[in-house]
Structure 1
Amino acid sequence: MTDIDRDDSRRPDPDASPATADSDRRGKLTVFLGAAPGVGKTYAMLTRAGRLKAEGVDVVVGLAETHGRSETAALLDGLEVLPRLAGAQDGQAFDVDGALTRHPRIVLVDELAHSNPEGSRHPKRYQDIEELIAAGIDVWTSLNIQHLESLADLVAQITGVTVRERVPDTVLKKADEIVLVDLPPTELIERLKEGKVYLPENASRAVDRFFRLGNLTALRELALRRTADRVDNQMVDYLKQHAIEGPWATGERLLVCVGPDELSEKVVRVASRLASGLNAPWLVVSIERADREEETTERLQRMEALFRLAEQLGAETRRVVGNDFVEEILKLARREHATQIVIGAKRNRGWTRFLSRSLPDTLSRKAAGIGIHFVTPEKDEKPPAPRRMALPGLAAYRQPALIAIGLTAAIAVAGKLVYVFAELPNISLLFLLAVLGSAVLGGYVSAFIAAILSALAYNFLFIDPLHTFTITAPHEVFALVVFLCVAIIAGGFASRIKEQAEVARVRATALQSLYDFSRKLSTTATADDAIWVAVSQLQASLRRNIVLLLPDKGDLRVAAVWPPDTDLDTTDFTAARWTRDKQETAGAGTGTLPDSRFEFRPLMGPHGLVGVCGIEQTEERLDLNAERALSAILDQTAIALDRARLSEESVEQAARLEGERYRETLLASISHDLRTPLATIVDAATNLRQQCETMPREERDGDLRLIEEEGGRLSGFVSNLLDMTRIESGMLKPKSDRLDVADVVQTAVERARKYFPGKVIETGIAPDLPPIEGDGVLLGQVLFNLLDNAVKYGGEEPVNVYARRDGGDVLISVTDLGKGIPPAELDRIFEKFYRRGKPDGRAPGTGLGLSIARGFTEAMGGKIQAESPAVKKRGTRIVLRFPAGEKKADKAK
């Protein structure tokens, strides 16, 4: 091993670090764990809280149950006790909102396994505690070991008492600290007899039932073992985080096989204890037949309850579809690297133990290298009776029987007609048509009846002696038996193929529906379109009211409902907000706000939560197929909404990038084009101030003229920027006056001649020009910008300005004889900040002149375009086109 390898092996485990980081962002849970009531959990918790309070720590009591014990109640003196929830039916309700508003550092909430009164936000108190921890508040609580979900059956077996209040094992596993409050069973019994645990009238009954020495000893062992497992987990986490070499936990992984039978609940609980003892992850799997046409409501409810129990105990759950149960289990075990399989093993009785091999037996025979644990029923449990075919009523057989009788009679008549003309030796093959037809039309029962009737009809009509059921030849007996067996087998296969075809048809319909939904989603361009497609699809598939909410400014808004008259009350909105905040299912049928009419599910996209979907719940639960369709639709909807959000963000990002480019170009432009005239003005002003008295008159006049020219140039830059701002903001509102084109052109040309005194500008104006409607100031500015551009890029040649009539329009053109513009750049010259270089390579101006000209022209209802080459394969011509004023007047009339 190299040095690098040794260094890598001692690095901290990266998988252990996120857990630590996450615990720093949340509150911490401390559980005072005891073996039974009366060991002193509340007393120890209050004593420790009093010490921290004396040290100045912000500790409050959210809920403490003293059960009338004076020494425990005395510990509440000096501690802040939060008020309980007003209006609670039993006075035991913990005020979660009050604790969140107070937000202390540590809050004490006694009796973790207690149930909340009806109408509370959460049905169980441990869910209130989870909300406090998520808000960053440390929580201390108490728990007896018999309240753990995985130990419920074991505790009932030991003590004979069924515990009603239960807590999922995951709650204890997530605890940051477990404080074991231990008391020997003999001392606990003495405390009970002295009335320090229950009232005297209840103490004697408790000693006779629950508080027996054997019961308390067993419960104490369970508490010690569970605490030791927790300490071992903490030590392993510490070793991983600090890269300390030592004995690591083994890589055990359990695969637990369950079904809808009653034994499966015990299998799950046993597997939970086994996984806890091995410190191993475990996977609970249910195998479903691929050819099962539909699931019964009872079976679905039982499987859902079983999976919820497994998830509460910390397991991962999965459903697998297949016909060969053993092959599917072994395939999944190899794929998940399972080292042990846990499965229930029932005792068969009667003839079934000889004629059939059970699933555990087959699994143990084929599994190689994998340990198998069999969970058997209790001794007092009766083994399951041999399976008997459930016989439906006579009405269920009526239609299959009629189909079989009709087809058999038709084939018998046809066979008799054929036999009259030709005595065929294989006439019995005709009756197979009756069996196959009955299987296709009426199922297996009809095929079986047709097989029996066909055998009887064949014997009666075609085997000597005819018209009797007597058979004289031995080979005819053999042929009849073979025919009957073939008919039954063929009918069974045909019926099975029909059933599978029906199942395939149902699933193909569901897949086609999902495909159509996916295709509709793919064509949606906005989030609103995707929302309405999803809501209509869900309502059509589930036949229930659907509501879809989207995040909006820190809250939720109803984006779509179907039917349209569906409304949400306060409880519904509260459950929806909980789903948004916690990204967990809430509402009807869940552990959070079950009084809501809707079950709210989060829509999780690749980049987080994108919405919340509410499905109205009824007494009839969704079956497995509906759940699969719902999950698929919600997943695709979440992706579509996330895609729409990303599309909107990309448009906004493109706009921001364009704005950034605009800003950078503007800064780059004005940093040079504004700095140059400013520097010239400052230099000239400095010379005048320092040498005004001694400077010759010619030089002084030259500096003043330079200041005037550069100031005008600077004013032009600022005017261009202001004009472009008006155009971009939509604040440009041109006047609508009747303009004499000749006057506007002459005014603009005179202005340009003053600004460029050394430049020759020629004009040509047609005498019959009609007036146009527009803004004279803006049109003059457009012409001046075009002349300015022509002077800069036209070289020493004259600039020509022409105005003429073209049908119903007036054309004004400005032409220079410079180098011209490449065809590929003709459309770009009107863009902001686009500049062509001078012959010396320098790009003058801000690049806004032509862009402003286009904005002003289009604002007045005209058009502008560039042509190059203009004259003799050189030069550039900019053409303005405006509708004639008289043409507009004619249209108005």
Structure 2
Amino acid sequence: MARDDGDFDRRPDPDALLALSDKESKGKLCVFLGAAPGVGKTYAMLARAQTAKAEGVDVVVGVAETHGRLETQALLNGLETLPRRKCEYRGRIIEEFDIDAALARKPQLILIDELAHTNAPDSRHPKRWQDVEELLDAGIDVWTTLNVQHLESLADVVSRVTGVAVRETVPDRVLQKAADVILVDVTPDELLQRLKDGKVYVPETAKRATQNFFTPRNLTALRELALRRTAERVDDQMVDFLRQGAIEGPWATAERLLVCVGRDAKSEAVVRAGARLATGLNATWIALYVERAGQEERSAEVVRNVDQALRLAERLGAEIERVSGDDLAGEVLRFARRENITQIVLGRSPARPFARLMRRSLTDEILRQSTDIAVHVVVQEDGALQARRAPKLPTLSETWRGVGGAAVSVTITVLVGYVLDRWLGLANPSVIFLLPVVLCAVGLGMWSAIMAAVLSFLACDFFFFNPRYELTISQPQEFLSLLVALVVAVITAMLASKMRNYAQNMRQRSQAMQSLFEFSRKLSTITTLDDILWVSASQIQKAGGVSCVVLLMPEETGLRLAAAWPPVDQMDAGELAAARWALEKAEPAGWRTDTLPNVRFQFRPLTTARGVVAVCGIEPKTPQEPFSAATEGTIAALIEQTAIAIDRSMLVGDSVKAAALEENEKLRTILLSALSHDLRTPLTSITGAVTSLRELGEKLSPEDRKDLLLSIEEEAGRLSRFIANLLDMSRIESGGLSPRSDLVNVADVIRNVLERSRKTFSGKDTSISIAPDLPPIRGDANLLGQVLFNLIDNAHKYGGPTGVIIHARREGADVVITVTDEGPGVKAADLERIFEKFYRSGRVDGRKAGTGLGLSICRGLVKAMGGTIVAQSPAVRRRGTRIIMRFPAASLSKQGVAA
């Protein structure tokens, strides 16, 4: 069946379906939106909650602010209310919403009034809307209330309309993600009547409110904003439904906005204007800051303004980008074309007549060069902000240093000029005065260089032009020459100052690159996780001038402090809570974040392909100031490198574990193979002998019955030795072997083992040679006898038809016992490996013999008694193998005590 291309084109939007799936996995948010306080948002929410409870919904009241209204208070009857968390703030006890109690209770639906509320400083989140987001992530439905003036993008508009600054705001994305927005609306006249009746505030407060905020003009404007925002939300929902259902319609062209963030406080108004425009166009947007070379580190105010504007843009849903360059307009347009920007939003540049004589403003330059991108210029009406746009003047110390440097350099130039004029007769002395201008520009900055240019102009006229020692000029061409020299000096000062800024910027970038290079080089030689963490902590501290801690989450214990520089003994409960949040939520927490912002550290997750592997905490030197762009970039790069190094270390550990598992699997296979053979062979012989005796019984001759019984005895003994070996190996590996420490007569043990071996290995020759002066040793006679018997068994098994020789002698303070055969011997590469578990190198009758446990058990028993055991091959006439054991001889005093 052919597929219609039209049907394919009308398929549901995958992004819309993915967004729908993500919403279904979380709780649903319902916002009761109003134009102003007193319209009845809380009343409407509680009334609907009573209906939901009657329908069987598990409803809990988290926060409900009734403000003493009896009709609202009555709606709380019958609804479960969570107890609030009490905390101290500015010397008094206040009650706050307890998010931990809500998460523990985990109702189906929870009511939380006043979404824009600011929490107490010791709360996990500074804002109540962040508590709501955590509840939604936990799968709990939330109903909440909000006034339209608290929307972040409308805060400046409301301030201009009403004249009242809005301090508590909620990001627009919270309202955009709401499943339902219910508009609670009354007319301005009705609301004013409610104020007069005392249904909103107490009489004194209501009277002041009607004179300031609650005026018909303000209420009408706020009502319009609420209606418009609700209509936009309904339109967004309709678009989502159409996309999810693959319903055709006239879709709007995708818009993409770029909001330019400047260096002053006006940028926040530009960001809000860009957010409102992006919301109206349903467009994605980017907040861009272009860093001018060499200027960011010198102005803390600029760093603070830029940080606040970018953080505001991030809260409003923008992507954050930073670029660097001296041509600001060129950088903005290059970024815009690279990111497929359709509209640019920026603030109006201030009117600076002198500066505009030298160059165009940023706004004018972007308007001139932007031929294919629409440009929106935001006009700021607040005169106070305009005043703050004045250029930053040098401090008093910088002024005195600049003036002093200019005066000293010009004075020295005058003296040098006198000498040169006397010897050479300078035709144009103004040339040499470019030298102090350049020196001041490079060393002290542009202001000092301009001061040097002015002083050079005056000094050249006073000391070198006729009439000398007077500030007058006799010839017009001399005045023109001085004027040209002054202009050249000022231009030279500006260019030299710019080059100085470039040099500073390049030096900072070079230091950052050198730091990253050194860090990468150190990490390349480190494989252990602890070393990586300590090197990372010290490098981040050195590069950023901050205190750094790294925390890990081991498998069995809680979050632990793995590395810190400077050293930190322990962390308090709040810091651990912020670190745990960063680890679990994969987002920053602590200082200058939305989670536990009063914590001194800012914790950032170290994320790799396997998830968050660790948390890095950074404590700034000055908590009041944000990081500069350069410092932030360096720290971010180092943290990313640390995450990669940790991931690499974990991969190495995983590979080692995989190799160990593979080796264990190999050993398991060998053990099963050995067990299947070494258990089945004697059992088969025993079963066959028993069957013959049972079935043939009386028909067998006495000799045959004797042979069968002997075979049963031998095979049972073989089976018993094999099981004993397995038990001994298990005892050795588990540490359960505790040998005795008695005086052992080595000669007696050897003779007893010889008698046992002659019975067991009949037909095999075993001889002994014992030195007459052989002293006793400290150990366990039974274990030593077992070792010797295993060695004899191994020698007969692999040594061929030749005999076995046991020799015991004294060498210095040791007793040496050797077991030697004259078989084919062992390869030099296998002399150590033959003591490993399950290793079998020899062959008996064309097949591998034994389980490979005998020599491994011997080594374990010998070590347990304090001795050593090694193999030597060849042993005799370039053949055979010799096993050498050494034990410390017992001292005479110990012998006497034992006797």
TM-score normalised to the size of structure 1?
0.86
The residue that corresponds to 2:854 in the other structure is: 849
Residue 149 of structure 1: CA displacement? 0.9
The letter of the residue matching 2:156 is D
Deviations 1:726-774 (A, max 9, x none): 3223344444556555544443343333222233345555667666555
For the pair 1:334 / 2:337, whether they are aligned, the reply is yes
Deviations 1:783-842 (A, max 9, x none): 322322232233444444455667776654444454444444444322211124635543
For the pair 1:259 / 2:262, whether they are aligned, the reply is yes
The residue that corresponds to 2:318 in the other structure is: 315
For the pair 1:132 / 2:135, whether they are aligned, the reply is yes
Report the 3-state secondary structure (helix = DSSP H, G, I; strand = E; otherwise coil) of the residue aligned with 1:76. coil
Which shows bigger deviation, 127-136 or 320-329?
A: 127-136
Looking at structure 2, the residues matched to 500 and 16 of structure 1 have their Cα atoms a distance apart, in angstroms, of 47
The residue that corresponds to 1:94 in the other structure is: 97
Note if contact 2:29-2:136 (Cα within 8 Å) is conserved in structure 1: yes
Report the 3-state secondary structure (helix = DSSP H, G, I; strand = E; otherwise coil) of the residue aligned with 1:604. strand
Pair 1:347–1:872, CA change in 2 (3 A): closer
Which shows bigger deviation, 330-339 or 559-568?
A: 559-568
For the pair 1:60 / 2:60, whether they are aligned, the reply is yes
Looking at structure 2, the residues matched to 386 and 791 of structure 1 have their Cα atoms a distance apart, in angstroms, of 99
The letter of the residue matching 1:876 is G
Looking at structure 1, the residues matched to 447 and 706 of structure 2 have their Cα atoms a distance apart, in angstroms, of 120
Deviations 1:99-154 (A, max 9, x none): 23322111111221223345444332222222322333221112222221111122
Looking at structure 1, the residues matched to 158 and 457 of structure 2 have their Cα atoms a distance apart, in angstroms, of 61
Looking at structure 2, the residues matched to 386 and 850 of structure 1 have their Cα atoms a distance apart, in angstroms, of 87
The residue that corresponds to 1:250 in the other structure is: 253
For the pair 1:107 / 2:110, whether they are aligned, the reply is yes
Pair 1:327–1:465, CA change in 2 (3 A): same
* Structure-to-structure mapping, 1:580-729, within 5 angstroms: 580-596=583-599, 598-606=600-608, 607-613=611-617, 615=619, 620-624=624-628, 625-641=630-646, 643=648, 651=656, 654-685=659-690, 688=693, 697=702, 700-729=705-734
Pair 1:840–1:364, CA change in 2 (3 A): farther
Pair 1:238–1:786, CA change in 2 (3 A): farther
Note if contact 1:809-1:881 (Cα within 8 Å) is conserved in structure 2: no
Deviations 1:625-656 (A, max 9, x none): 54445444544455555555555555555545
For the pair 1:413 / 2:415, whether they are aligned, the reply is no
Pair 1:217–1:829, CA change in 2 (3 A): same
Aligned length: 886
Looking at structure 1, the residues matched to 793 and 822 of structure 2 have their Cα atoms a distance apart, in angstroms, of 14
Looking at structure 1, the residues matched to 392 and 218 of structure 2 have their Cα atoms a distance apart, in angstroms, of 45
Looking at structure 2, the residues matched to 791 and 382 of structure 1 have their Cα atoms a distance apart, in angstroms, of 101
Note if contact 2:58-2:109 (Cα within 8 Å) is conserved in structure 1: yes
For the pair 1:882 / 2:886, whether they are aligned, the reply is yes
Looking at structure 2, the residues matched to 467 and 82 of structure 1 have their Cα atoms a distance apart, in angstroms, of 89
Equivalent of residue 227 in structure 1, options 227, 230, 234? 230
Which shows bigger deviation, 477-486 or 821-830?
A: 477-486
The residue that corresponds to 2:755 in the other structure is: 750
Which shows bigger deviation, 432-441 or 300-309?
A: 432-441
Pair 1:172–1:387, CA change in 2 (3 A): closer
Which shows bigger deviation, 188-197 or 599-608?
A: 188-197
Pair 1:278–1:697, CA change in 2 (3 A): farther
* Structure-to-structure mapping, 1:704-853, within 5 angstroms: 704-736=709-741, 741-763=746-768, 774-802=779-807, 812-836=817-841, 838=843, 840-853=845-858
The residue that corresponds to 1:377 in the other structure is: 380
CA RMSD in angstroms, aligned pairs only: 4.3
Report the 3-state secondary structure (helix = DSSP H, G, I; strand = E; otherwise coil) of the residue aligned with 1:294. helix
Residue 259 of structure 1: CA displacement? 0.9
Looking at structure 2, the residues matched to 435 and 65 of structure 1 have their Cα atoms a distance apart, in angstroms, of 68
Looking at structure 1, the residues matched to 456 and 206 of structure 2 have their Cα atoms a distance apart, in angstroms, of 77
* Structure-to-structure mapping, 1:418-429, within 5 angstroms: 418-419=423-424
The residue that corresponds to 2:167 in the other structure is: 164
Looking at structure 1, the residues matched to 456 and 200 of structure 2 have their Cα atoms a distance apart, in angstroms, of 80
Note if contact 2:548-2:616 (Cα within 8 Å) is conserved in structure 1: no
Deviations 1:824-875 (A, max 9, x none): 44443222111246355432221111222233334445444444455566x5
Report the 3-state secondary structure (helix = DSSP H, G, I; strand = E; otherwise coil) of the residue aligned with 1:180. strand
The letter of the residue matching 2:373 is I
Pair 1:663–1:399, CA change in 2 (3 A): same
Note if contact 2:310-2:320 (Cα within 8 Å) is conserved in structure 1: yes
The residue that corresponds to 2:158 in the other structure is: 155
Note if contact 1:576-1:586 (Cα within 8 Å) is conserved in structure 2: yes
Looking at structure 2, the residues matched to 357 and 343 of structure 1 have their Cα atoms a distance apart, in angstroms, of 15
The letter of the residue matching 2:83 is P
Which shows bigger deviation, 840-849 or 337-346?
A: 840-849
* Structure-to-structure mapping, 1:423-502, within 5 angstroms: 432-433=434-435, 435-444=437-446, 447-448=449-450, 451=453, 483-502=485-504
Pair 1:574–1:424, CA change in 2 (3 A): closer
Pair 1:830–1:301, CA change in 2 (3 A): same
Looking at structure 2, the residues matched to 542 and 564 of structure 1 have their Cα atoms a distance apart, in angstroms, of 16
Note if contact 1:538-1:546 (Cα within 8 Å) is conserved in structure 2: yes
Looking at structure 1, the residues matched to 31 and 6 of structure 2 have their Cα atoms a distance apart, in angstroms, of 39
Looking at structure 2, the residues matched to 247 and 626 of structure 1 have their Cα atoms a distance apart, in angstroms, of 47
Report the 3-state secondary structure (helix = DSSP H, G, I; strand = E; otherwise coil) of the residue aligned with 1:53. helix
Equivalent of residue 176 in structure 2, options 173, 178, 187? 173
Pair 1:237–1:677, CA change in 2 (3 A): farther
Note if contact 1:399-1:442 (Cα within 8 Å) is conserved in structure 2: no
Note if contact 2:739-2:780 (Cα within 8 Å) is conserved in structure 1: yes
Pair 1:526–1:223, CA change in 2 (3 A): same
Pair 1:784–1:308, CA change in 2 (3 A): same
Deviations 1:476-497 (A, max 9, x none): 6666555555455445444443
Looking at structure 2, the residues matched to 379 and 864 of structure 1 have their Cα atoms a distance apart, in angstroms, of 91
Pair 1:206–1:842, CA change in 2 (3 A): same
Looking at structure 2, the residues matched to 8 and 709 of structure 1 have their Cα atoms a distance apart, in angstroms, of 81
Note if contact 1:254-1:280 (Cα within 8 Å) is conserved in structure 2: yes
Residue 528 of structure 1: CA displacement? 4.4
Residue 558 of structure 1: CA displacement? 4.2
The letter of the residue matching 2:264 is D
Equivalent of residue 328 in structure 2, options 310, 325, 330? 325
Note if contact 2:116-2:127 (Cα within 8 Å) is conserved in structure 1: yes
Pair 1:396–1:839, CA change in 2 (3 A): closer
The letter of the residue matching 1:877 is T
Looking at structure 2, the residues matched to 665 and 367 of structure 1 have their Cα atoms a distance apart, in angstroms, of 76
* Structure-to-structure mapping, 1:190-229, within 5 angstroms: 197-198=200-201, 210=213, 215-229=218-232
The letter of the residue matching 1:411 is V
Structure 2: 5+ residue stretches without partners: none
Residue 251 of structure 1: CA displacement? 2.5
For the pair 1:28 / 2:28, whether they are aligned, the reply is yes
Pair 1:107–1:458, CA change in 2 (3 A): closer
Pair 1:48–1:705, CA change in 2 (3 A): farther
Report the 3-state secondary structure (helix = DSSP H, G, I; strand = E; otherwise coil) of the residue aligned with 1:122. coil
For the pair 1:284 / 2:287, whether they are aligned, the reply is yes
The letter of the residue matching 1:66 is T
Report the 3-state secondary structure (helix = DSSP H, G, I; strand = E; otherwise coil) of the residue aligned with 1:759. coil
Looking at structure 2, the residues matched to 888 and 855 of structure 1 have their Cα atoms a distance apart, in angstroms, of 27
